[in-house]
Amino acid sequence: MASDEIEVPKDVRPFMLEGAEETNLGQKNGAIRQFRYGNLHIREYEDKYLVHMDEVDPRNDPLGHLIHDAPEFLIGMASAYLGGKKIASEVYKRQKNKPFALIGSVAAGFAASIAAGYIGYSLVKKIKDF
């Protein structure tokens, strides 16, 4: 969680923990690189490190990490899927006898999935950071 992060200026500690592994797992939030050392998540910026503890290491349990540490992604993906599916289905039902009904319903579903996913992600992120 961002609110639990500790900032370590590079002029205080310019070296990375021995054994920390560079990773692509996690939100970079503008960081140059990020590392994991067990449940410790370290983001490196030009002048500092931001460090926080995750409940679950995503390298060992990706789903557990999404549930406990990043539920906004899980809810965003579910919202995108359900919202897109519902809108695509409704559009197709109403236009199935028209030319290009399938293309129109897929396009509407895609747009709805982007909107629903973003809304789901944003709401959970705000609740989580509250």
- Looking at the DSSP bridge assignments, the partners of residue 50 are 7, 43
When mean pLDDT is compared across 6-10, 15-19, 20-24, 110-114, the lowest value belongs to: 15-19
Domain positions in the chain? 2-60, 70-129
Confidence of residue 14 (pLDDT cuts 50, 70, 90): low
Predicted confidence at residue 1, as pLDDT, reads: 43
DSSP states along 7-55 = EEETTT--SPPTT-EE-S-S--TT-SEEEEETTEEEEE-SSEEEEEE-S
Q: Give 81's Cβ-side CA count (13 Å radius).
A: 6
Residue-wise pLDDT tens digits, 39-96: 999 999 999 999 999 999 999 999 999 999 999 999 999 999 999 999 999 999 999 9
Predicted confidence at residue 3, as pLDDT, reads: 59
Q: Are residues 31 and 43 in contact, defined by beta-carbon separation less than 8 angstroms? A: yes
Predicted confidence at residue 41, as pLDDT, reads: 94
Tally Cβ neighbours within 10 Å of residue 78: 13
Confidence of residue 18 (pLDDT cuts 50, 70, 90): confident
